[in-house]
Amino acid sequence: MKKWTLFSVIMFSLLALSFQSSQARPDKKQMKLGVEVLLDEELELLKGKNVGLITNPTGVDKELNSVADRLYENSNVNLVALYGPEHGVRGDAQAGQYVEQYTDERTGLPVYSLYGQTRKPTPEMLENVDVLLFDIQDVGTRFYTYIYTMAYAMEAAAENDVEFIVLDRPNPLGGIQVEGPVLHQDYSSFVGLYPIPLRHGMTVGELALLFNQEFEIGADLEVVEMKNWKRSMDYHDTGLEWVMPSPNMPTLDTAFAYPGSAWIEGTNVSEGRGTTKPFELIGAPFMNSFDTAKALNDLNLPGVTFRAASFTPTFSKHASKLSHGIQIHVSDYDLYEPVKTGLSIIKTIHNLYPEEFQFSPENSKGQSFFDLLVGNGWIREEIEKGSSVKKIEQMWKAELNDFKEIREDYLLYSNGKRTK
């Protein structure tokens, strides 16, 4: 009898664990991407029209089928051209590498580069196109360039009487938290075109609506919304596989680190390019990994831990040189504040290594690349003056709150259960 009782307890426990596991595991069937809504329910939008598609390797459905291939093979869609952002349609170009026009091997369609001699489609590129589709996974950070490829394409569409349709995708960081300084227009560049904060908490479709209205692009714009995505969901909650949006964005952890650790690109410290953990590994030959990790962990930043780490980049800054620093480990994605974390990392390295640490050189306008990344010149000045993280955060708070009010008019999705 006791044996049967013990057996029953074990079986019940296993069933309970199995149930909890199935409950915790997201069901990707519940959520529909914009492209899936288009193909299943809204193909009428493309009826009788020549279609151009702006995409890259992230343009896939839930089963990881290429959107370009699905549209090309669909007898109800007349796909006539492809357009590639930085890194290209199939993702075979490194950061900053110019891509020229070519023919796509898979479909035989012309591929026009939007990261070559021009970043905006020319009239010739749009000559036989009635409607432009945009389907690219963004990473939720202002200085990730795909949203500006979208903005320039919207401008070109408006100027050439071409319809523009955004096939919406999740913001991988979630849609509730908004962080960081709002870009000042004097610091506008391809790593920050419009006055939005570093972490904007919007989908590409929502950003398109905001860009179109607030910055008077005037495109004939349509957003094909996702189904069953909530603002409270980060990418872990979607059940979707992560596809690299660019060569140095290999994992979702990279995307979470990026809004803060990419500030390092504007300094003489390596942001981990040339390693298998870009934007998670940060260091330089002049740093001490244990001192840096201890100083950062002593700050007790929410949702993140820093591990002492050494690495040798194979390319980019400090290539082939042993570098010492830290690896960012996010322990709680809800509590983690990447922008505050990034500012704290910069401040800590600046304080520990004042003689060796340098911001990138200024251009003819007196702007460092660091300034272009953060969207202003005053943060660099405050760091050099020794101002606290708390003071710097307070200085950008008013503009951030103004943006939060503006963005409310363009949000397409509800919050869901969590209200962080």
pLDDT at 219 over 80: yes
Q: 252-385: which CATH topology? A: Aspartate Aminotransferase, domain 1 (3.90.1150)
For range 49-74, the mean pLDDT: 98
How many CB atoms are closer than 10 A to CB 364? Answer: 5
Q: What is the structure's pLDDT at 87?
A: 76
Q: Is the pLDDT of residue 416 over 50?
A: yes
Same fold, 30-241 and 252-385: no
- For range 111-126, the mean pLDDT: 93
Residue 306: pLDDT over 50: yes
Q: Where are the domains of the chain?
A: 30-241, 252-385
Predicted confidence (pLDDT) per residue in 166-204, tens digit:
999 999 999 999 999 999 999 999 999 999 999 999 999
Tell me: pLDDT of 322 over 50.
Answer: yes
Residues 30-241, CATH architecture: 3-Layer(aba) Sandwich (3.40)
Query: Which range has the worst mean pLDDT, 24-38, 224-238, 272-286?
Result: 24-38
Q: What CA–CA distance (Å, rounded) separates 111 from 121?
A: 11
Residue written as tokens 């307070």? 394
Given a cut of 60, whether residue 3 has pLDDT beyond it is no
What average pLDDT score do residues 277-306 get? 99
CA dist 301 to 308, 330, 335, 343, 395, Å? 16, 10, 9, 11, 19
Distance CA(320)–CA(417), nearest Å, equals: 48
- Asked whether the predicted pLDDT for residue 12 surpasses 70, the reply is no
**Closest to 142 (Cα-Cα) out of 349, 419, 407:** 407
Among positive and negative, which fits the CA dihedral 140, 235, 253, 304?
positive
Of 354, 339, 143, nearest to 267 by C-alpha is 354
Render pLDDT for 386-411 as a digit per residue (tens, 0 to 9): 999 999 999 999 999 999 999 999 99
- Residue for token pair 């020319």: 122
- Rounded mean pLDDT, 371-387: 98
The pLDDT, as a whole number, for residue 4 is 52
Sign for the CA dihedral angle at 54, 231, 334, 33 comes to negative
| Mean pLDDT value across residues 232-241 | 97
Query: For 124-146, what is the mean pLDDT?
Result: 97
> What is the pLDDT, as a whole number, of residue 5?
57
Instruction: Report how far residue 3's alpha carbon sits from residue 252's, in angstroms, rounded to the nearest whole number.
Output: 46
H-state helical runs in 91-203: 146-159
The pLDDT of residue 27 = 58
- Kindly indicate the confidence band of residue 95, based on its pLDDT and cuts at 50, 70 and 90: low
**Mean local confidence (pLDDT), 204-224:** 99
Banded model confidence at residue 117, pLDDT cuts 50, 70, 90: confident
* Contact predicate 204/168, CB 8 Å: yes
Round the average pLDDT of the chain to a whole number and report it. Answer: 93
- Residue 379 near residue 181 (C-beta atoms within 8 A): yes
